[in-house]
Structure 1
Amino acid sequence: MEKEKITFEEALEFVQKKVYLQTNNHLSLQEETILKGAWEESSYEEIGESLYLSSGYVRNSAASLWKTLSKVFQQKITKSQFHYLICKIISEEEITPPFFEEEEEEESQLDKGSILLVDDQVENLQILSKLLKENGYQVRSANGGNIALRSLEKILPDLILLDILMPNLNGYEVCKILKKQAKTALIPVIFISALNEPIDKIKAFELGGSDYITKPFELQEVLARVSCQITLRKQRIQLEAEIKQHQQTIEILYQSRSILASILNYSYHGIAAFEAIRSPVDAEITDFRCLLVNPAFAECFNLTSSQLMTQKSCLDFFKANNLDWLEGFIKVIKTGKTFQQKFSYQNKLYQVFAVKLGDGITLTLQPLLEKGGLSG
């Protein structure tokens, strides 16, 4: 497939599948946007603008993403190489036979989840494989512990059904190895044993096993236990994705607050926000409370921001500075119309603008140019 014939949507789907198979994680919306920008050869500044984030933040997020993709595809992936390399990988990738010995499987339309069966008895593999495929699961089989471990280097399932008594490497030993590796530690394991075989249930659970089933198989019991573990697995993955998204949202909000604080602190114009105080008797507005004020606003009145923020009544502040703003502010809240007025303070001329914000107002003080230069 030539580069120009591969769309970004096709490339993204390919990358998403590879990342999930290797890491059990999904790409976030932010990561998908970075990939789209790299595909279209956009700059980090342009990508950041589309996400309402700084280019520096996007660069840091992208660096982690390129590192992940480099591990997934086992070659160095960068922003400038992403489009070319993904097209090359898609074009060269071939469908290879299954790593283990089993018939070629058709993709299940139900796709309830993927399962790895590990048992040295071919008959058991055939019985379980047939049952699970008929019930909508994708199934792979391995007839030994070492084969199973090697297969997990390429594809991670949602669940492992693991026989305990196997030659060379038994189920307990396989499970112990799985739980020590970060890549496979969270994959649930259901142990398999025969009724006449000894099973150390305490050891099985101490090693990280999630459940166990016995041979000969009770088919409905097998399906119930498998369904339970895969459901728990998918819920955990979804929860982890939501937590990750929540953390990203917190980071974005934190950065947004930092940006807002920077704008307020270094703004040439005075900016403040006031909340209406209403009478408990008739709910009419009697006063205002200062919610936010920037240094430029406070300096207009030779005060500090903290001095204004700690005042319980703005009415006293208005009176002390001969500001007839109360009625105008009340009208803004009632009608939604902008309040605008020129006023002077200590021989400096300003223009004030007030607009409605919820049950309050935001205020902007703008120093005015007069003949002879800037006053204020």
Structure 2
Amino acid sequence: MPTQLFNSPKADILVIDDTPENLNLLSAMLTEQGYKVRSVTKGSTGLRGANAVPPDLILLDVNMPEMNGYEVCQQLKTSDRTRDIPVIFISALGDVLDKVKAFAVGGVDYITKPFQLEEVLARIENHLTIRNLQKQLQAQNQQLQQEIRDRTKAEEKFAKVFRSSPNPIAIATISETRLLDVNPSFLKMSGYNVDEVIGHTVTEVDLGKNTVAIAQTIQRLPESGSLYNLEFEFSTKSAELKTILLSIELIDLAGVPCALLIANDITERKRLENEFISLVSHELRTPLTSTMGALDLLGSGQLGTLTAQGQKVLSIATNNTERLIRLVNDILDLERMKSGKIFMRKAKCNAAELLITATEAMQAMADKLQVKLIVNPVAVELWADADRLLQTFTNLLSNAIKFSEPGDTVWIGATLSENQSIEPQADAPSYLLITFRDEGRGIPEDKLQIIFERFQQVDASDSRNKGGTGLGLAICRNIVQQHNGKIWVQSALGEGSTFYVLLPLADSN
């Protein structure tokens, strides 16, 4: 049995010739080479067959009764269904004019009888290859056109959102922070007109005391990646101060790396929030202090002896009241720091002494939870508020201990570090890098960016189970920033966390 019956034919070829001998010869020859062959003796029949099931190629005799090959080819080329089928003319006529006419009506080649097998096969294969390449090119062009349409649609959608968004939006280049476009909401918030903004750098526009910080954040975007809800102070053209949350995305515009800046004006929200916090905090402190005093009085036994159940209820009430008092104090502390109402009393202090003091202060807690503390301090001088740094160190140690398991170890280390600021200074180390490493449960990746925000915790139940307020790390960050330092964390789930505190040495201030 011939192999072509088991395999798909190489191509579908329609042969139109009024001479049966030629048809039989071509059919046998092409079938043997693996082609599917359809043979007809009339031009009109060939046209119907080509329209019904378009072949991959047509071999067409010139001289036929009723309708010659030229007329057949002309009709094939007028139909959308058959116009792209390659047509090879076969004729005994050797006149050059006949060949010219064959190409003029749309033929792709011309074979003169008597033909050679190798020549016919070579020409068929060449034109089938060309046709396949054309189909691939057409498919690629269609795909490209669709991609262009999709991109154009996406750009139109983006432009519509960009213009109509109530959020102020700007686009700036990464390299120079030059503003390429801003939306109407940005102009409304800032008070500038288009000419005063477009083409100017962020620093030239002067958006307030945070202008340089915003520009530096944009330029570091390729390394840092997308940033969300960074709080900045924004100054309008009329010098009105606003508080904004700024999100920055890295985008590509015609091959140019750019930053998409989306602002959220939270000025009014901050004002209401501060008023609410201040009101609630102050109104809560007096009754909580009174409640705590009453609970202490009950616990002392001066009002009578409580049953075991009563002691348990009293203990729960005391713990919850203490947590509420810590929460109120933390809220007031954080708000005072952020508003600048707490003055940092900086002086030269010894880093080793602070770390040892913090470790000693947390030793009782560590012993109770069966956690080992190992401290390796460095005796260098810092220009700092010792009490505030001690508050930071004990808070970080407390977290490390609370989230460790019995038998775990917490390491407190310190090393001299090269300057990690944007503008390098002397060769000598000018920073102290302090680390707090634990073997606890770790922090999920999606929490690493927000763990230093207010009321952000790894687990919503932490404040209940661990006695935290959700403000400790926010306070730590604020204290470190007011010492011109940095604080960050690295963590892996199930492998523990390491908190880093980078502080300038006394000589570098």
Q: 1:326 aligns with which of 212, 221, 245?
A: 212
- What does 1:226-305 correspond to in 2, within 5 Å? 226-277=124-175, 287-305=176-194
SS at match of 2:178: strand
Aligned partners of 1:354 and 1:361 also within 8 Å: no
2:109: which partner in 1?
A: 211
Say if 1:108 and 1:136, in contact at 8 Å, map to a contact too. Answer: no
| C-alpha displacement of 1:344 | 4.9
What's the secondary structure of 1:116's corresponding residue? strand
Identify the match of residue 315 of structure 1 among 185, 191, 203: 203
The aligned counterpart of 2:453 is none
Q: CA RMSD in A?
A: 2.8
Question: How does 1:116-135 map onto structure 2 within 5 Å?
Answer: 116-135=14-33
1 CA distance for matches of 2:213 and 2:151?
35
Contact 1:352 1:363 in 2 (8 A): no
CA contact (8 A) 2:203 2:215 kept: no
Matched AA of 1:355: I
Q: Report if aligned partners of 2:4, 2:34 keep a CA contact under 8 Å in 1.
A: no
Which residue matches 1:349? 242
Q: How does 1:35-46 map to 2 (within 5 A)?
A: none
Report the 3-state secondary structure (helix = DSSP H, G, I; strand = E; otherwise coil) of the residue aligned with 1:288.
coil
* Contact 2:173/2:180 (<8 A) preserved: yes
Deviations 1:184-203 (A, max 9, x none): 22221111112689971222
- 2:37 is the counterpart of 1:139: yes
Note if contact 2:88-2:109 (Cα within 8 Å) is conserved in structure 1: yes
Q: Is 1:150 the equivalent of 2:48?
A: yes
2:67 aligned residue (138, 153, 169) = 169
Q: Secondary structure at the match of 2:197?
A: helix
| Mapping for residues 77-92 of structure 1, pairs under 5 Å | none
SS at match of 2:177: strand
Cα deviation, 1:166-222, whole Å, max 9, x if unaligned, reads 222221221222223332222211111126899712222222221111223200000
The aligned length equals 257
Aligned identity (percent) is 35
Contact 2:202-2:215 at 8 Å conserved across structures? no
**Whole-angstrom CA distance in 2 between matches of 1:337 and 1:158:** 53
CA contact (8 A) 1:164 1:193 kept: yes
- Show the counterpart of 1:54: none
SS of residue matched to 1:156:
coil
Cα–Cα, structure 1 residues 188 and 306, in superposed 2: closer, same or farther, change >3 Å? farther
Aligned partner of 2:182: which letter?
A: V
Helix, strand or coil for the counterpart of 1:175?
A: helix
Distance in 2 (CA, whole Å) between partners of 1:356 and 1:263 is: 16
The higher-RCO structure (CA 8 Å, 6+ apart) is 1
3-state SS, counterpart of residue 52 of structure 2 = coil
Corresponding residue SS for 1:330 = helix
TM alignment of 1:67-86, pairs within 5 A: none
Question: Contact 1:195–1:216 at 8 Å: present in 2 too?
Answer: no
What 5-or-longer segments of structure 2 have no aligned partner? 252-256, 274-509
**Residue identity in the other structure for 1:322:** G
Please give the alpha-carbon distance, in whole angstroms, between the structure 2 residues aligned to 1:198 and 1:212: 10
Deviations 1:224-251 (Å, cap 9, x if unpaired)? 1111111122222222222222222111
Contact 2:89 2:110 (8 Å CA) reproduced: yes
Aligned pairs (5 A) from 1:26-41:
none
Looking at structure 1, the residues matched to 173 and 135 of structure 2 have their Cα atoms a distance apart, in angstroms, of 43
Give SS of 2:136's match: helix
Matched position secondary structure for 1:357: strand
**Distance verdict in 2 for CA 1:344–1:206, change over 3 Å:** closer
1:272 is matched by which residue type in structure 2? A
Contact between 1:294 and 1:305, CA under 8 Å: does it hold in 2?
no
In structure 1, list runs of 5 or more residues that go unmatched.
1-104, 278-286
TM-score by length of 1: 0.61
In 1, distance between residues paired with 2:72 and 2:120?
21
Q: Distance in 2 between matches of 1:246 and 1:360?
A: 25
Matches of 1:247 and 1:328 in 2, distance apart?
39
SS in 2 for 1:309: coil
Alpha carbons 2:17, 2:64 under 8 Å: kept = yes
